[in-house]
Every structure is written in C-alpha cells, then in structure tokens.
Structure 1
C-alpha cells in the first residue's frame, strides 16, 4: 500500500502550525510574522498565540493576510487544567472558529475549577480544529497525561524552539507508546517560533491537498495526508507485507521504527531510494519511517498500521 500522503490527489504545501506573535509572548507583530514566513517560501501559516486571559485570549484573525499564493489557518495554543507535574496543559489547536469560547485560564498556571486539558482538547475538536499534544518532552508530559487527551489528532514530535532553547525537542517516546497502545495518531514538526532566538524555519509539515486553502489543508491534516521535515523530502512510501520501499531526496540513512525495540536502518551515500524487509516488525502493529540527509536533517512519515498494509 502507498501511504495516503503520497496517494492523495493534489500537491504538497509547506506550512508551520505553531507560531507566536507579540499578541502573546512573541516579539513580532502578526503582519511581520506572516511576512517572514511568506518570504521564506512557506505556503501557509497558523498563528497560534497563547489563549490565556493575561494576553486577552488572542485568537488572531489572519484572514487579511491571505492572497493567491499564501494562506493562513486560524488557531491558538490552548491552556487549561494541570498535568501530573502540576503545570498548565499546552494544546495546539489549528482551524478554530473566531468565536471559540475561552477557557477559564487567566494566567500561566492552573487554577481551581477550570476545564481539564482533555475537556479543552475535546471542545476544540468539536469546534472543527486539528488538535495536537504540544512539545511533550519540554512539558514533562507523562504517558498517563497523554493517554487522557483522547481527542487529539496528533503529537508534536519535533519542536524547533524547544530544540534551540532547551534541547528538549521531541515527542517520539510518548507518540510511540500511544501507537503501541492502539491510538491512531499522526505526527507534526513545528517551529513554535517566538523570534526571541533562532527558533524559526527549522521544522514544518508538507501537506498534500488539491488547493492551498484552509478547508482543504485542514481536511488533509485530519486525514494524516502529510509528512514532517527539517528539510529532506519524502517522495513516496510504499508498505508491502514483506518490505518498505521509500523514495526521497538524497539521504544517507533510512530508518523504520515500530513497537518496542523494533527498528532497522539502511545507510549509504546520496540515496534516493531504499527498502527494508519487515521481518523485524512481525510483532508490531505499526511502523513509521525516518530519513536522514548528510547534514543530519530528518524527515518523518506518519505511522502506518498493519491492518492497512496487509489488507
């Protein structure tokens, strides 16, 4: 079977799903944030300021920045309730309506009587948003925490701002454990740009859609029709009962991961096509693919499940 991101009609559009402006804790105004992403060759952007009272619950209307070659998705980074470590939940929601009701979150710490993170995520999904569990490693997220966010579509598996600012960039451990428990989740790479440090243009999604317009992009995100990258291109991923075949831009490694210790890699020089047998994954109900280029930059497929590749 061919992964849906490559089988779907349309073309790939480059976008960042996690971005901040000076309407919360970023340093640039929304117009300048949008200008910079457009100038860097992005096709779309979600401005996701912190949706808390001390910032005025900003859900920024970026529709005026759309034009024929660039679009925006409305969204916010939502907060409510406490994780196991006592800190506030961070939940990324892209595709929110402008009238999405604020949670009772006046400041950057939990208070009594507010929605739980799970309730807030479910409300965002019900409002039409694509929802991701933000920066699990940075947040100190436990597996029990992550299990509770049952409504999420995705886990943020690479956050460039967290890579630059504290060397806690990823969410793979949490995502892989959830996959091994049967959750059907996708994986996103983002910037979480604040422009206070070099936290921008380092991780993004490539979304396959017929048009670069909000409804088409959101539908593709929810369907998992995208891959994430720091630069390398994934051009095709085919999964057969006995092997995985990947086409990509020139890379030095192709790695397949599955449940538990299941993983296998092939290495070379300027590889644009590679394959690996699936014998190592006979006990895994899912696999995913990573490719690495000569500079160490990575691209990641979304997971594919055994009942899909064996049908």
Structure 2
C-alpha cells in the first residue's frame, strides 16, 4: 500500500476550496495549516518524497495561474472518475495541453477518486498501469516519480516507439483510434476496427513533444505521459 492524501490548501482564483494529491507521504507528514500557501504545501510534500499532482482541474475550473502557484509538481490529473457523475467534468486534458504547450512539464494521471457514495459510480473508472520491477511501495513510487506509467479507463498500451519527425509506432489492446497529440493543433492518427498496432506518419507533425491516446470501441481511453524529444 502506498500512503496518499488529499492536501487542502488556498482557494482558487474563482474562490473555490481545492486540494492537491500527494502519493507516498510518510505517516508523520504534518497536516497543512491555515497560513501555509499552496506552493509551500506542495513543496513540503515533494520534499517528503511524495508524487504530487494537481487534482481534477476541470472540476475546479482551475486557471493556468492556479496551477502555477503550486510550483514544480509531478503531474496533472487528466481524468477523474467521480467527476463523471458529480459534475460531468471528468476530463482535464484541455488545461494540461495548454500548460504543456507553454513549455511546462507535467506527467498525466487518471484516477477513479473512489468515495464509496451510492450516487457515484466511480469505482474502477480510472487508474494507472505502472512499469516496475517490484510491487513494493518504494519501487512503485519511484516509477511514478519517473513517469514510468500510463493512464487508462480501459484500453491497454503495450509498446510505444517514437522517431521524431518520422513515425510513431503503437501496440495496444484492440482500438478504433490511436491519436498522436502535440503542441497546439499538432496531431496525427490511425483508425481501424480492432486496431492492435499502428505506425503513424509524423513527417507533418510539428511539436517538441507528443502524447499518445488509444480509444476503443466502447469509448474507453488510455493515455501515455507526454514524451519530450
């Protein structure tokens, strides 16, 4: 088990309460105080060794300024399962893409945010697949901090190979669309019924990074972390 917590902090620019996500906190991590800023709290969690993420920004309608107040954090939560039924704001890729396009570096994170409420069907709606040689808290946390994982609501991604300016090779569970997304409107794609692999032409793809999305016939999606080159 990896110890995690929702750390509550300042209000957003729209005067909403909010929290950040910290995974891998030590048990003696002190709670935040009324005077501790968002940046100080995030920095303290990071210094304690935690994987720190911006929690469901679309739910909060976070601005770029809100996210930037946190300083250097590990990831942005780009899918939140409880938000599907809470306010229909589960997907937060827009603000993540804006931040990435401006040159910021963040990993991506999907969760179900399970709260065991009867009116929310959140359990198992989002998760990460971690690449780790050991299933220990230390190894899993190190893999998260290194970005050695991908996020999913269903599909699996088995292999990704990028040759910048040439091709993107993707192998995955059966899909209908595979997207390569980059800065601004930069994109490329492959489509087909039961698509299990694709080699996508990147000769007209202009971006200093890319990310891969796999979408299956049921609307499930899996996302790689941004890949910089």
Task: Report the TM-score range of the alignment, normalised by the length of the smaller protein.
Answer: over 0.9
Is 1:255 the counterpart of 2:179? The answer is: yes
Is 1:101 the counterpart of 2:24? The answer is: no
Is 1:135 the counterpart of 2:59? The answer is: no
Report which of the two structures shows the higher radius of gyration computed on alpha carbons.
1
5 Å matches for 1:231-310? 231-241=154-164, 242-282=166-206, 284-306=207-229
Task: Please give the alpha-carbon distance, in whole angstroms, between the structure 2 residues aligned to 1:120 and 1:75.
Answer: 14
Is 1:75 the counterpart of 2:1? The answer is: no
> Are the counterparts in 2 of residues 132 and 154 from structure 1 also a CA contact under 8 Å?
yes
Q: Which runs of 4+ in 1 moved over 3 A?
A: none
**Deviation string for 1:34-62 (max 9, x for gaps)?**
xxxxxxxxxxxxxxxxxxxxxxxxxxxxx
- Give the gaps of 5 or more residues in structure 2: none
> Counting strand residues as a fraction of each chain, which structure ranks higher?
2
Give the alignment's Cα RMSD to 1 decimal: 1.1
SS at match of 1:89: strand
Task: Please give the alpha-carbon distance, in whole angstroms, between the structure 2 residues aligned to 1:165 and 1:88.
Answer: 16
5 Å matches for 1:98-177? 98-105=27-34, 114-177=35-98
- Give the gaps of 5 or more residues in structure 1: 1-71, 106-113, 307-311
1:221 to 123, 141, 144: 144
Task: Please give the alpha-carbon distance, in whole angstroms, between the structure 2 residues aligned to 1:157 and 1:226.
Answer: 14
TM-score by length of 2: 0.95
> Counting helix residues as a fraction of each chain, which structure ranks higher?
1
1:206 to 111, 126, 129: 129
User: What is the Cα deviation at residue 117 of structure 1?
Assistant: 1.3
Task: Please give the alpha-carbon distance, in whole angstroms, between the structure 1 residues aligned to 2:17 and 2:27.
Answer: 23
Task: Please give the alpha-carbon distance, in whole angstroms, between the structure 2 residues aligned to 1:157 and 1:280.
Answer: 27
User: What is the Cα deviation at residue 175 of structure 1?
Assistant: 1.1
- 2:115 is matched with 194
Task: Please give the alpha-carbon distance, in whole angstroms, between the structure 2 residues aligned to 1:85 and 1:224.
Answer: 31
Higher RCO (CA < 8 A, seq sep 6+): 1
Task: Please give the alpha-carbon distance, in whole angstroms, between the structure 2 residues aligned to 1:147 and 1:263.
Answer: 26
SS at match of 2:139: helix
User: What is the Cα deviation at residue 151 of structure 1?
Assistant: 2.2
Task: Please give the alpha-carbon distance, in whole angstroms, between the structure 1 residues aligned to 2:94 and 2:40.
Answer: 24
Moved more, 199-208 or 174-183: 174-183
User: What is the Cα deviation at residue 281 of structure 1?
Assistant: 2.3
Task: Please give the alpha-carbon distance, in whole angstroms, between the structure 1 residues aligned to 2:26 and 2:56.
Answer: 23
Task: Please give the alpha-carbon distance, in whole angstroms, between the structure 1 residues aligned to 2:37 and 2:199.
Answer: 44
Is 1:230 the counterpart of 2:153? The answer is: yes
